[in-house]
A and B are shown apart, each in its own frame.
Chain A
């Protein structure tokens, strides 16, 4: 019998429980990270629940007609911004392993008039349910750090991206030596 030293299922359960219980931040995170111009493009439902850690969307270089994958779409703010950039000729696959988040993203896309562009898909970032070489741009915001198998996630990103495809993500990094051991052994410190 093998032992999962990465505690993959424990981590997944912890993330699931934490994010299923998410309540509105009343736009606090969104207003800190995004420009006013970007915020005018997204409905309040997506602004209020945004939990990203950066504004990679201003660097993502999404073009009209692009196929975009948003890994861990959450409340949908980046999926909606991506859909504005692709326009009706493009597609934004909004991936999340929580059905609750997919519903929120679908609602936000509908409210933004982009329901035909944003396609919510349930799945895990370690096994992206899309064909090889089917995506032009991957975006993600504060999500990949939650995976115990980051190398696997990057391999999946490389698989689904077309050659020359762009990867643009925001995420958190920590320097372990700068945090006390009591903090590092806390389950939440697995993320990082």
Chain B
């Protein structure tokens, strides 16, 4: 009896199905992905056991660098950002031209006092990126511009949420002045951005 030789299969697999699946997943991830925005300054948030993730809600961010420089990041929404600038201009008796407003809509984070905002907005885009604020947004007992930014943002849209991103080595009095300012405008609930730390093993 002749031995039945096993039929030799070709090594090529049909990859079509696999390709379909990967494309499906790829599409999903491309759609859902949100890229990390470039940081305004090197800030290392302190670690915490909190496992709550930063919500997607309309979020404005106050960043505090180790030197105590404040940055304000308005909610990324073109038209509302321009409204915010108008309101701030009203408060500080400044008017902004249309190109300045357009520039403001593109700016990621503000780190200059109101007095320098105009000249900052008139800089070309590359210089704006390279611009390093020395003093940031003023925030002390006499000049609470940072709080004004928060307050005017809330006036534009009261549903905005606030996150505070402080560095590990930021001095507490800086943070305290910010908290006190927020208490003054009765804005009492916000988030502190932290990095993940393992749960304590007990």
A binds B: no
